[in-house]
Amino acid sequence: MIILSNLDKYVEEKTKELKDKNIKDELEIIRYIYIDLGKNLSFDNNFIPFGNRETRAYIYNHSKDLNDLNRCMNINHAICLSFSYIIENVLKNFGISIYTIVEQCKDVRYNHAYNFIKLKDGRKFCIDLQEDICNIQTHSFTSSFGLESPFSNKRIISRQEQEQIDKKIGYIKDKQSYSNDYLYLLHSVADGIEDFREKAQFILENIDCTDTSNMGYIDRQWHHERVLEEFFDLNEFDYMHNTGNITIHNCYKDINGKRKYICFILVRDETDVDIYVYNKKRNGYRKMNMENYMHCLENGLMIKVKERVH
């Protein structure tokens, strides 16, 4: 992961890159910047899951200030508003018609933000970089690019058109496809496992087919959420409310004044509970016994109750 510096310098660098790669088409420019930002930005852990109410309010209320956008570029962390205003600011420098939409919802504390784009050929569509960061960083198909609206599955920019552009800009190679096609391989095995805990173990131990060691903590968790939702119903796994037989536990440990974030997943059935911890080196979860888990708690492991803020 590179340091993005500030917006002006980033635009200057991308202008040169686009010229060197002979990328001139309007949609190709949009796609190139979208993928590039997605590779290098992460969701801010200080907002969720580890921030308190005061911290979240401060981050959210300052997230569209130019100084804060430059700060986000410098530390590579942001939230939905920052992502939207960053990509709006950058793409406007390339003559793209783009603006940020902030949802107005009564039942949420922090309204979500995304972008709306109008191409010169008349096509209009939405992009949501926050929702696609975990896809981009795992080389998966970007599910929130080119939609009619965030609430519609209708694609203005088809998968085929995206795939052609992605091959041209190097996001995927000519003889390769998107990495989330790996889910078909997981299904081919997991769907034949009848025992619930055994099935969960197989999926958790093989949850990643790409290196996610540089992903942000919450981006990786959202990626794993989507994988688990492929295999389990809401009674078994409900990420939004963190209920069901599979639950996520956000934890951290202070090491020399710096937090190390750790994700535990608990898998229950009517007889027992299994505890899994994510292992970056092995690119998946590994089972640990209750004795080791309790030892971690006794030695400074802090559990943060999981919550969804929008």
Residues 167, 211: Cα–Cα separation, whole Å: 20
State yes or no: pLDDT of 3 exceeds 80: no
Q: Work out the average pLDDT over 279-303.
A: 85
Rounded to 5 degrees, φ, ψ at 22 are 55, 45
Higher pLDDT, 38 or 296: 38
Label the pairing between strands 124-127 and 145-147: antiparallel
User: pLDDT category, 147, cuts 50, 70, 90?
Assistant: very high
Please give the distance of CA 205 from its chain centroid, rounded to a whole number: 20
Q: What is the pTM of this model?
A: 0.90
- Tens digits of residue pLDDT in 216-259: 999 999 999 999 999 999 999 998 888 899 999 888 888 887 88
State yes or no: pLDDT of 310 exceeds 50: no
pLDDT of res. 162: 95
Considering only CA atoms, which of 272, 223, 271, 230 is closest in space to residue 248?
Answer: 223
Domain borders along the chain are 7-169, 181-304
For the segment(s) 7-169, the CATH number from 3.90.1720, 3.10.620, 3.40.50, 3.30.1360 is 3.10.620
Q: Work out the average pLDDT over 41-65.
A: 85
Considering only CA atoms, which of 100, 112, 143 is closest in space to residue 47?
Answer: 112
Contact of 293 with 284, CB cutoff 8 Å:
no
Looking from the CA of 161 toward its CB, the CA atoms found within 13 Å total 11
What percentage of residues in the chain have a pLDDT greater than 90? 64
Contact of 251 with 262, CB cutoff 8 Å:
yes
* Radius of gyration in angstroms for the set of CA atoms belonging to the chain, rounded to a whole number: 20
- Tens digits of residue pLDDT in 176-226: 789 988 999 999 999 999 999 999 999 999 999 888 888 999 999 999 999
Tokens of 303: 């559990």
State yes or no: pLDDT of 275 exceeds 90: yes
Please name the residue that has the structure tokens 């979240």: 56
- Tens digits of residue pLDDT in 76-128: 999 999 999 999 999 999 999 999 999 877 666 788 999 999 999 999 999 99
pLDDT of res. 309: 45
Q: Exposed e or buried b for every residue in 215-225, given b needs 16+ CB within 10 A?
A: bbbbbbbbbbe
